[in-house]
Amino acid sequence: MKKLIVTGSNGLIGSEVVVYFHDRGWQVFGVDNNMRREFFGEKGDTRWNQRRLEATCPNFRHIELDIRNRAGVLKLVASVKPDLIVHAAAQPSHDLAAIRPFDDFDVNAGGTLNLLEAARQGAPEAVFVHMSTNKVYGDRPNSIPLVELPTRWDYADPAYADGIDETMSVDASLHSLFGVSKTSADLMVQEYGRYFGLKTACLRGGCLTGPNHAGVELHGFLSHLIRCNVEEREYTIYGYKGKQVRDNIHAYDVARCIEFFYENPSSAAVFNLGGGRSNTVSILEAFDRVQQITGKPMRYRYVDQPRVGDHICYISNLNHLKRSLPGWDITRTLDDIFEEIAVSWQQRLLQHA
């Protein structure tokens, strides 16, 4: 039986990876210490997701471990000797990173280094997949000329018709401290591939989403937006007239991408990973979509001040990924994503009623 270690296994991507590989006959070890609750409070708590995995996946084992615990990480990887490591644990918020810079860097950069070195020492043949972020590009995407449309911004330059590819520079841009810690991790993952020959990939995610996302204001755009509508709470738009655009990818398609890379690995691979143009939506457009599903009007307020380093329009160019991993493609549409997230929040609201 093949063995997989997933960090951040209580979270959106981690839990999806657990289920996906478990259902394909893998033994899965999930590493999580529910730090999302410490970061975001009660609404960020992910124990419910852990309990779901433990109840439905008999070959899943939860490991209560902080990835900053170097000795613990080294011991775990050496004892399990996994075939695949999926690193999905992170401090994911720009805003929180500015308030807690040491925690942000220690988790995102230090935790990644701990896992890479543990892999090099204890499981050098394992495939290592790191959930990176498009925030490694900082605010450089905002330098692309834009055109303002009635409900969204879009690229004015036809060279970006398919979105932003991996050739975009990570230099000379404003990243936020979160962006810097994630860039540090991204580069380290690449370096362990090039320098030590480990089979590594950085997946530079756009808006990763799905029904098991514990979305909060500081992280989880679409999940949080839909949750606000379902619970009839006020949503806050920060700048850009609410026309800022994101491409959304379902966690299931992320898990499929990881499987494709495992089956055809390389060293120091880098892929932009998002929903592509077909799965793009602006905040204003998202309001309209969720209202059509729930029948509830969207309550919101507008703050004429964008978040530091926030992207005005970000669409992932998937061409390099599709060429490198033939057969992989998006399977969940934007309609699928909205429906699943809305149903999930409606069910959770009923459970707590």
Domains belonging to the chain, first-starting first, are: 3-351 (3.40.50.720)
Is the pLDDT higher at 36 or at 286? 286
Question: Which residue shows structure tokens 């580069």?
Answer: 187
Q: What is the tens place of the pLDDT at every residue in 41-67?
A: 887 788 989 999 999 999 999 999 999
Alpha helices (H) in 45-122, listed in sequence order: 47-56, 70-80, 94-99, 101-105, 111-122
Reported confidence tier of residue 196, pLDDT bands at 50, 70, 90: very high
Q: Cα-atom radius of gyration of the chain, to the nearest Å?
A: 19
Among 43, 12, 48, smallest CA distance to 212 is for 12
Instruction: Give backbone dihedrals phi and psi of 5, rounded to 5 degrees, phi first.
Output: -110, 125
Q: What is the tens place of the pLDDT at every residue in 228-273?
A: 999 999 999 999 999 999 999 999 999 999 999 999 999 999 999 9
At 215 the pLDDT is 65
At 59 the pLDDT is 98
Rounded (5°) CA angle 288-289-293: 115
At 229 the pLDDT is 96
Burial class for 330, CB neighbours closer than 10 Å (0-12, 13-18, 19+): buried
How far is C-alpha 343 from the chain's CA centre?
21
CB 76 within 8 A of CB 111: no
